[in-house]
Structure 1
Amino acid sequence: MRLANGIVLDKEKTFGTLKFSALRHEVRAENDDGSTSEEITRRTYDLKCSVQERMIQVSIPADIPVKEYPYNAEVELVNPVADTVANANYRGVVVDWYIKADDIVLKNKGNQTGNPQNHTPQGQPKK
């Protein structure tokens, strides 16, 4: 069986609450000679996942602007899909699962804890 578009995921059942952690790495294209080019093909982010009870990595396309959300901001995935990549070795094939999405967006833009733009010290009025 071949799933050309990966496995579509039920966001609530698979992930529950997702909280932003950080940009993990950028994947760059390869030049014809095998060296790494300057072209970024995708970015992978670390997200804290309540259902999986661990950090997960999610890749989004490079044409989406870099995400610089506050640490622990609640986010959601746009069109998440689980997919695989297989690599042959001398013992057979190793298959790795990964999660990709069209984008990572803030879940409740106006009510994020940890967002320094919306935080004022206790007892001080907002300016």
Structure 2
Amino acid sequence: MRLAQGIVIDKEKTFGLLKFSALRREVFLQNEDGTVSSEVKERTYDLKSREQGRMIQVSIPASVPLKEFDYNAEVELINPVADTVANATFRGADVDWYIKADDLVLKGKAVTSGGNATKAAPSKDK
């Protein structure tokens, strides 16, 4: 069972300040015969979340280039969505939550339509 479109997340309220930790794993596509191919499907990164008070894992599509930010660099998720996978058991169901995003960029950078990061305009707040 899955939520139809996932749950759209308010980034600031849910995660607060996010800091980059490391690439956690790469998920590879499977060949028709069931063996693992060399083509990456998605990459999962460990991020420190101030609001959650712990490390979170976020999956980014493989179409986005590998992220190699400095440890503890402030980052921002682009279009994060939380979703679930539920598996029926004899006593009910086991539910796993996961977070996916379109991209992961350094804080203060904006993503252009071509997917390249550019410096965001300075804030006018005083």
* TM-score where L is the length of structure 1: 0.79
**RMSD of the TM alignment (CA)?**
1.8
Whichever residue aligns with residue 42 of structure 1, its letter is E
| Aligned residue in 2 for 1:6 | 6
Task: Give the strand-richer structure, 1 or 2.
Answer: 2
| Aligned residue in 2 for 1:44 | 44
Post-superposition offset of 1:89:
4.6
Aligned length: 109
Structure 2 runs not aligned, ≥5 long: 110-126
Residue 56 (structure 2) pairs with residue 56 (structure 1) = yes
| Aligned residue in 1 for 2:104 | 104
| Aligned residue in 2 for 1:76 | 76
Post-superposition offset of 1:33:
2.1
Post-superposition offset of 1:21:
0.3
| Aligned residue in 2 for 1:66 | 66
Matched position secondary structure for 1:70: coil
CA distance 1:35–1:83, shift in 2 (3 Å): same
| Aligned residue in 1 for 2:19 | 19
Cα distance in 1, alignment partners of residues 89 and 40 from structure 2: 27
Cα distance in 2, alignment partners of residues 78 and 5 from structure 1: 16
Post-superposition offset of 1:3:
3.2
| Aligned residue in 2 for 1:116 | none
Cα distance in 2, alignment partners of residues 17 and 97 from structure 1: 21
CA contact (8 A) 2:42 2:61 kept: yes
**Larger radius of gyration, structure 1 or 2?**
1
CA distance 1:24–1:2, shift in 2 (3 Å): closer
Cα distance in 1, alignment partners of residues 47 and 27 from structure 2: 17
Matched position secondary structure for 1:34: coil
Matched position secondary structure for 1:56: strand
Matched position secondary structure for 2:3: coil
Cα distance in 1, alignment partners of residues 86 and 40 from structure 2: 22
Whichever residue aligns with residue 84 of structure 2, its letter is T
